[in-house]
Amino acid sequence: MSIELLFVEPQDWTHAGLPVVKVDGSDYAVAEDDDAANLAAIDSVRDSFWAFRSEFIGSFLGISDAATKAIAEMQGKLCEESQEIIELLIGDRHYEFIDQAIAADGRGHFLSPYDGEERDGEDVSPALEGKLVYRIS
């Protein structure tokens, strides 16, 4: 039986406000606990309203299919520039929107662009035991 030791190399950048480490050639964002992971996911969702499927936005807002289609067309034309308009549509219900998004897709979807997975740190390296990690690359 052999024991493979995977070294954790801290990086000098962050992802969604979380510190990043390199393990075995892959980058991971590291959350110390659930609270840190939740805050990072909230920020990530808030910064990406523009990228949500128009059907999700329309369902959340309770608007007609025609209005939902108009949102999709706006997103197609404006891309990231539609963020401000969608923020205005969501209004003061943004925390409710964020909660629904995280409940639907999980934190990993918003924090791990590589595979959308949330992992226990010890699954990546013994040095990350007790932490939550999100693969970036």
**How confident is the prediction along the chain (137 residues), in pLDDT tens digits per residue?**
455 556 899 999 999 999 999 999 999 999 999 999 999 999 999 999 999 999 999 999 999 999 999 999 999 999 999 999 999 999 999 999 999 999 999 999 999 999 999 999 999 999 999 999 999 99
- 60 is a domain residue: yes
- 58 is a domain residue: yes
- 127 is a domain residue: yes
- 114 is a domain residue: yes
Number of domains in the chain: 1
- 26 is a domain residue: yes
Degrees to nearest 5, angle at CA 20 with 18 and 26? 140
Contact 109, 134 (CB under 8 A): no
- 123 is a domain residue: yes
64 burial (CB, 10 Å; 0-12 / 13-18 / 19+) is exposed
Which pLDDT score, from 0 to 100, does residue 107 have? 98
The whole-angstrom separation of Cα 72 and Cα 75 is: 5
- 108 is a domain residue: yes
The whole-angstrom separation of Cα 31 and Cα 91 is: 29
- Bridge-partner residues for 119, per DSSP? 133
Which pLDDT score, from 0 to 100, does residue 38 have? 97
Q: Which domain holds residue 48?
A: 8-135
Secondary structure E strands in the chain:
8-15, 18-23, 26-31, 119-120, 132-135
DSSP letter at 7? P
Say if pTM beats, i.e. exceeds, 0.85: yes
What is the distance between the terminal CA atoms of the chain, rounded to a whole angstrom? Answer: 29
- 3 is a domain residue: no
Which pLDDT score, from 0 to 100, does residue 7 have? 86
Which pLDDT score, from 0 to 100, does residue 110 have? 97
